[in-house]
Chain A
Amino acid sequence: MTDFNSDKAIKAWLKQFRKHPFYDDGSIREMELHLRDHMEELVAEGVSEKIAFEQAVEEFGSIEPVAKEELWNVKPKTSLRSILHWVMLKNYFKTSTRSLFKNPLTSFINVFGLAVAIGICLLVYVFLAWDNSIDQFHTKKEEVYLATTYINRDGDLEQNGRTPRPLGALMAQDMPQVKQVCRVDDGPVIIKFRDVVFNEQLRYVDPNFLDFFTFPMAKGNKKGLEDLNSIVLSHAMGIKYFGENNPIGELVTVIFGENNKKEFTVVGVAAPFPKAHAIAFDFLVHYENLKTALPEFSDDDWGAFVSATLIQVDDINQIPQIKQSMEGYRMAQNKAQPDWSIHSFEFEKLADLHKVSGRIKNDISYDDNLEGRIGLPVIALLMLALACLNYINIAIVTASKRLKEIGVRKVIGANKRQVIVQFLLENMVTTSFAMLLGVGMGIFLFLPWFIGFTGWDLELNTMSSDFWLFITSILLATGLLSGIYPAFYISKFDTVSIFRGAQKFGKNNLVTKAFLGVQLVLACTTIAVGIVVAQNNAYQSQKQWGYQPDQLLYSALQKTKSFENLKIALEKHPSIQTVVGAKEHVGLTLDALVLSHNSIQYEVSSMSVGPNYIETLNFELVAGRSFIDKKESDKQALVLNEKAVENLQLKNPIGALLTIQNVKYEVIGVVKDFHFHNFFNTIEPMVMQLTEETKFDYIVLRTEKGSEQKALSLLKKEWLKQNPELPFYGGHQTETWGVFFEMIQKAKDFNAIIAVVAVFLAGMGLYGLVSLNVSGRTKEFSIRKTLGAGLQHLSSNILKEYVWLTTIALLVGGPMSYIVSKAYLDMLFAYPMPLDYSGILMALVVLVVVLLLVVATQVKKVFQSNPVKGLQAE
């Protein structure tokens, strides 16, 4: 008895409180005092210290329930931490991985389907990130603006990136708000270094160009451009002309035209351009060299335009003020060029230029990504939606296998919220697997394929915060999107009916069927688009160009006067039928002019051609005649295309008089509309006029059928003989559209792949659903088999469930496919094929075949199964 140490005993008792972190010293002291007070009283009544301690402890009661009550006081009830605590994350990780491996087939469908969709999303993210970063590496992108003009064209205002030549110098002189101005102009030249000779585009710039555009330099320095005899090369041009050698200090010859050449010293070579760029250059020389290139050049010529006038401002808020001060220039321009009268000026910030470039004509930037910016996110969301729908459907049906577990959880106290959270967290684990797989597929499969396919220099920066933000949002979005409905669906079931077995699950769930229906409709649409695009490709390649490009060859004359000599030499060969010349040649170059008729002005495309050009190309004359060689009056004659006749509203075009720069021209003929550009572009109004031989820039020949190749080598040989210093620039007329056919072929491949993925996802979803449905009915099928059900009976029994659904889905999907395909073709092609129902029907057939195949695999499984085992199983 005397051995009892009350202090020690109390200390040991208090230790049980210390296990709970929310008991602070004050609270524990309070408990200790309680016990001591109680013991003191008992001891005073005459009991021993030991018994007093035991009695006080007993009356105090067990500590665990007290601590649990206390927990509710200290903890906020619904903090994220408490939820995590309650739902036991670890436990769910275990249960979800376990169920992943328990149902390997459905898990594969879920995880792989989601992964494919996530991979595609990653691809789209990389594309958008790349598109957003285009030309963002220029450090002055926020201060530099491109001057543009609005020009009134047939009632519409058209934004143009080219500006009057004197504008830049005047703005620098007149406007204190403008810190500095940089003018940019371009022109074709021939560049020669020792034996290497090529046709190139030369960029004439003010010396501050590399200050406006901070392209990284590899060799030399930016200041070098101040010298009139200096030239700066891009990285690619450095390699092209000098290989691995250092070009700094080397002399290159720039041939501007016949008897007009100049030597330049290489003073700088740019580093390879950053991958995300739209604005670039090959060769830079001082702007003043335009005076050498164009002998008639004048700085004050309001009739001439430059490729770009850029300004730098200190304060971007001064742009509106600058815009207001442009009136004087506008008037000067409109006085000098009434045909090209400017409506107003607009300034576009360099940082935004790429994105707005699509609506600006002739600007120094470009934007090919508009369709991608709209189309790719739609495709990514579509794929994600398909994968999530698969997931939802399968999750609901699989849940039927977990009904008892949910029931047990509810009985031991889980409320609705906890079941939902459990399901969502488990789902998050599954989506994390899909995420890992998807990112892997995106990086190692989709991205390399897409880069190879588009030729875009896409790059994934895994270190950027945006990337991780994207990954997290995708994870949360897919986890929630795919999990939220099944979670709520499952959580609302009544425990009692679960255990009674009265709970019917999934089988007749309308929502599941609706989801599957949506999937089928989406799949149907993508397949239809894929097929229609392929059909359209065939159609486009068969489509007539409006002239006969097959036996035509062309070569640029490159400012030489060698047309006559070439013609004489070539005409000797029997395989060459005719040789003609032109200043502009169809498919390659085009001029524009302004026509007046009934005092209304029209901007039309124009070509100046030699005699017999129309006949040689086989343009079809629908009225009047073609140009006659050496007929004096034909120098003021025009041949129009049908579109021009329509736009000018000429009822009797032949003999009509049209004014071009105050000179009257007579319409002598009308040709059927022909495709100047490829089939992406609409046919524009066009006029042709006769030009003299000295102005020819192209020589065009028609050959005997089958001897095109031979004629081309003859042409090359003749060219080399007569112009040994100049590169040959020419080829088959059919190749002028090479890029077009390449592009539509790529579009076809791309759509085919998307369609295959969509069918794959829908097929997998269907397969998952049918197989779950069948495995849930093992007993039923076993009884049916024992009673003698045959193959036909079983098939119709399984199929029956899906016939109505498929019929409805196809009834919706058919018309929708038609509408979407039509919209898609109309968006891409100016002259799409007339859409019929064959593509849509083929899509429907593909889908029905997939459905039948899926059902067939299950019928086979049921048919081959042993009914005895099936009956034992449950």
Chain B
Amino acid sequence: MISKTLTAASTKPIILGILKQGSSYGYLIIKKIKELSGGKMQYSDGMLYPVLHKMEKDGWIESSWSLKNETRPRKYYEITTLGKEALHQEQSQWAQVNSVLNQIWEPKTEIQ
């Protein structure tokens, strides 16, 4: 199980990553996260919404109501340019963390 702190820290990059692949709505986003993590990241579903709204407020994502090909209306979120930039930054930061951890944990790197 992934810790709560780490889950919380990674929520925004994960959402941005999902939305980069195409617009989506709340229930689908959370379902996707659960699938991707194989249930290892534990969320209460409701907590996703304040995060989405905050991201929207910060201008990273945009929302619109849509009725297209659906049985019921849905509130779709899509990533903005600002959001893409933010995602880019997040990616490089996570990569750096990853490389630091790799250097410490891989014995070869340690010897060199």
Contact = CB atoms under 8 A, between A and B. Distances in A.
A663 B27 CA distance: 116
Main secondary structure of the interface of B (DSSP, over half): helix
A33 B57 contact: no
B40 interface: no
Contact of A38 (B45, B54, B65): B45
Contact of A34 (B45, B65, B73): B45
Nearest to B25: A33
Contacts of B25: 33
Contact of A37 (B27, B47, B49): B27
Interface in A44-84: 59-63, 65-66, 69-70, 72-73
Contact of A31 (B49, B51, B72, B73): B49
A312 B71 CA distance: 84
B38 to A, nearest CB: 16
B27 A61 contact: no
A30 interface: yes
A70 B54 CA distance: 8
B44 interface: yes
B26 interface: yes
B75 A66 contact: no
Given A33-B73, A34-B27, A69 B47 contact: yes
A29 B72 CA distance: 11
Nearest to B57: A73
B33 to A, nearest CB: 13
B71 to A, nearest CB: 9
A33 B45 contact: no
Contact of B45 (A26, A27, A60, A70): A60
A63 B46 contact: yes
Interface string B40-60: 000011110111011001000
B84 interface: no
A140 interface: no
Contact of B49 (A38, A62, A70, A72): A70
Given A36-B72, A73-B54, A73-B57, A66 B27 contact: no
Interface in A1-58: 26-27, 29-31, 33-34, 36-38
Contacts of B75: 26, 29-30, 33
A30 B44 CA distance: 16
A69 B44 contact: no
B20 interface: no
B111 to A, nearest CB: 45
A37 B31 CA distance: 11
Contact of A30 (B26, B47, B54, B57): B26
A62 B46 CA distance: 8
Given A33-B75, A36-B72, A73 B45 contact: no
Contact of B44 (A26, A62, A70): A62
B44 A33 contact: no
A29 B63 CA distance: 14
Q: Indicate the member of B27, B47, B65 with the most A CB atoms within 10 Å.
A: B27
A66 B50 contact: yes
Interface in B61-81: 65, 72-75
A33 B50 contact: no
B92 to A, nearest CB: 27
A709 B91 CA distance: 110
B50 A73 contact: yes
B112 to A, nearest CB: 45
Contacts of A73: 50, 53-54, 57
A509 B23 CA distance: 63
Contacts of A27: 49, 53
A178 B47 CA distance: 80
B27 A60 contact: no
Interface residues of A, number: 21
Contacts of A34: 26-27, 45, 49
Given A30-B26, A30-B75, A61 B47 contact: yes
Contacts of B26: 30, 33-34
A637 B69 CA distance: 124
Contacts of B45: 34, 38, 59-61
Contacts of A38: 27, 45
Contacts of A26: 65, 75
Contact of A60 (B44, B65, B72): B44
A181 B57 CA distance: 70
Contacts of A65: 47
Given A33-B74, A33-B75, A61-B44, A70 B27 contact: no
A23 to B, nearest CB: 10
A311 to B, nearest CB: 66
Contacts of B54: 72-73
Interface string A328-339: 000000000000
A66 B47 contact: yes
A66 B46 contact: yes
A62 B47 CA distance: 9
Contacts of B46: 31, 60-63, 66
Interface string A624-650: 000000000000000000000000000
A34 B52 CA distance: 14
Nearest to A71: B50
A33 B26 CA distance: 9
Interface string B9-32: 000000000000000011100000
Given A60-B44, A62-B44, A33 B49 contact: no
A335 B18 CA distance: 101
Nearest to A56: B45
B27 A33 contact: yes
A532 B54 CA distance: 71
B2 to A, nearest CB: 17
Contact of A69 (B50, B65, B72, B74): B50
Contacts of B65: 26
A44 B71 CA distance: 15
Of A27, A37, A65, chain B has the most CB atoms within 10 Å of the CB of: A37
Interface string A227-253: 000000000000000000000000000
A61 to B, nearest CB: 3
Nearest to B54: A73
26 contacts: A26-B75, A27-B53, A29-B73, A29-B75, A30-B75, A33-B26, A33-B72, A33-B75, A34-B27, A34-B45, A37-B27, A38-B45, A59-B44, A60-B44, A60-B45, A62-B46, A63-B46, A66-B46, A66-B49, A66-B50, A69-B47, A69-B51, A70-B53, A73-B50, A73-B54, A73-B57
Interface of B: 25-27, 44-47, 49-51, 53-54, 57, 65, 72-75
Interface of A: 26-27, 29-31, 33-34, 36-38, 59-63, 65-66, 69-70, 72-73
Q: Which 9 A-B pairs have the closest CB atoms?
A: A61-B44, A69-B50, A66-B46, A37-B27, A61-B46, A60-B45, A60-B46, A70-B50, A34-B27
Given A29-B73, A33-B26, 9 more contacts: A27-B53, A33-B72, A33-B75, A59-B45, A63-B46, A65-B47, A66-B50, A72-B54, A73-B50
